[in-house]
């Protein structure tokens, strides 16, 4: 089995591959035009996804590539379990197994996961969506302590499909064992329109050695404004970390913070020292709200 790169711009890898808003929220707008695209998966497709992602496949997808050693800015998470963060497994447009990092967030339907747009489809390629998506919160060295949640809908900005802008996605997942996702693991609140600044803790499951995607890693540091409606933090996580959460006001005792962005891409193909993520503005709000209704 071969794992293909699935990263936009300068970061090569696997796929680096809310309810009320908190913080400085954007004002709600009435009758705003729909700026999202939604892909839905049938019950049969969701059952097939669960059958596809055996424990052996999940482990293999991280070990099938060599992305080099974990960088010095990236640390192993040794605090209390961050139950909301996990691995989002999928089959890409070439039929190859791969994965991202994703996060359970607060939502009206208690079933929404957020990650990067390139974890749902290729940028600027309207027909290249992914299949067999499942979310495994709290994944740790093969353990799946809270279950495997099949994705029933993925939502991306139309600008991502058309132009590669706004690298954000939201996914709606089925319940497991009669319990919704956030009833099981909780959810991170999402802040829309929060300005740069303040300390950020960014999580991910990069496929670098020795962890190879099997353990949760993190970077921490101040966020700064960047071009193209993005933010940056000092971080050298690589492929597999895509979609991982940027949490402001993170409390290591509870595993909770406020989602302000997600891992999108680095500043270089190799030896990146900065991670970039999209500003969660009005478009991201619509993506989240559409996933609440899916």
What percentage of the chain reaches a pLDDT higher than 90? Answer: 76
DSSP state of 119: G
Q: What is the pTM of this model?
A: 0.89
| Average pLDDT taken over every residue of the chain | 89
Q: What is the pLDDT of residues 184-207, one digit of tens each?
A: 999 999 999 888 889 999 999 999
- The helix or strand, by DSSP H or E, that contains position 151, with its residue range, turns out to be strand 149-157
What's the pLDDT at 51?
99
Q: Which residues pair with 99 in a beta bridge?
A: 89
Tokens 């900005």 -> residue: 157
CB distance 111 to 181 below 8 Å: yes
Whole-angstrom distance, CA of residue 234 vs CA of residue 240: 17
Q: Are 155 and 287 in contact (CB under 8 A)?
A: yes
Mean pLDDT across 162-170: 91
Mean pLDDT of the region 221-249: 95
pLDDT given for residue 18 in this prediction: 24
For residue 282, give the 3-state DSSP assignment. helix
Q: What is the mean pLDDT of residues 75-93?
A: 97
pLDDT at 124 over 60: yes
Per-residue confidence at 125, pLDDT binned at 50, 70, 90? Answer: confident
Give the residue-averaged pLDDT of 232-254: 96
End-to-end CA distance of the chain: 32
Topology at the third CATH level for domain 36-293: Thrombin, subunit H (2.40.10)
What average pLDDT score do residues 58-70 get? Answer: 88
Token pair for 24: 């400085």
**pLDDT beyond 60 at 65:** yes
Nearest CA among 83, 217, 75, 206 for reference residue 143: 83
| Residue with the two structure tokens 């300068």 | 10
Residue-wise pLDDT for 278-291, tens only, equals 999 999 999 999 99
Which of the pair, 163 or 241, is modelled with greater confidence?
241
Instruction: Report the pLDDT averaged over residues 51-60.
Output: 97
The yes-or-no verdict on residue 179 having pLDDT over 80 is yes
Q: What is the pLDDT of residue 164?
A: 84
C-alpha separations of 160 from 115, 249, 255, 282 in Å:
13, 29, 30, 14
Task: With beta carbons less than 8 A apart as the criterion, state whether 136 and 149 touch.
Answer: yes
196-220 average pLDDT score: 96
Q: In whole angstroms, how large is the CA radius of gyration of the chain?
A: 17
pLDDT at position 269 is 67
Better-scored residue on pLDDT, 140 or 272: 140
Closest listed residue to residue 205, CA positions, set 50, 8, 13: 13
Please give the pLDDT value at position 48. 99
| Alpha-carbon span 244 to 227, nearest angstrom | 20
Q: What DSSP assignment string belongs to 24-85? A: SPPPP-TTPPP-EEEEE--HHHHHHHHHH--HHHHHHHHHSS---BPPTT-EE--SS--TTE
- Residue 24: predicted pLDDT: 33
């Amino acid at each position: 089995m071969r794992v293909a790169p699935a990263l936009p711009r300068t970061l090569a890898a696997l796929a680096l591959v809310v309810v009320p808003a908190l913080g400085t929220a954007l004002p709600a707008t009435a009758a705003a035009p729909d700026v999202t695209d939604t892909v839905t998966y049938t019950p049969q497709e969701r059952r097939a996804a669960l059958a596809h992602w055996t424990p052996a496949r999940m482990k293999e997808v991280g070990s099938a590539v060599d992305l080099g050693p974990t960088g010095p800015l990236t640390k192993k998470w040794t605090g209390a379990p961050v139950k909301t963060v996990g691995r989002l497994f999928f089959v890409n447009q070439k039929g190859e197994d791969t994965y991202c990092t994703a996060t359970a967030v607060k939502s009206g339907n208690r079933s929404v996961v957020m990650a990067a747009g390139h974890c749902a489809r290729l940028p600027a390629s309207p027909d290249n969506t992914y299949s067999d998506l499942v979310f495994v919160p709290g994944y740790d060295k093969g353990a799946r302590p809270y279950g495997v949640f099949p994705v029933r809908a993925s939502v991306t900005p139309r600008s991502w499909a058309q132009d590669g802008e706004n690298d954000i996605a939201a996914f709606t997942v089925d319940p497991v064992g009669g319990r919704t996702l956030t009833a099981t693991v909780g959810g991170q609140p999402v802040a829309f329109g929060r300005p740069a600044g303040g300390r950020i803790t960014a999580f991910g499951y990069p496929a670098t050695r020795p962890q190879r995607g099997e353990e949760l890693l993190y970077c921490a540091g101040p966020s700064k404004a960047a071009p193209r409606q993005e933010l940056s933090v000092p971080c050298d996580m690589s492929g597999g970390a895509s979609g991982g959460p940027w949490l402001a006001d993170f409390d290591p005792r509870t595993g909770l913070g406020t989602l302000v962005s997600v891992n999108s891409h680095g500043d270089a193909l190799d030896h990146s020292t900065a991670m970039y993520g999209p500003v969660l503005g009005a478009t991201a709000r619509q993506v989240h709200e559409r996933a609440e209704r899916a």
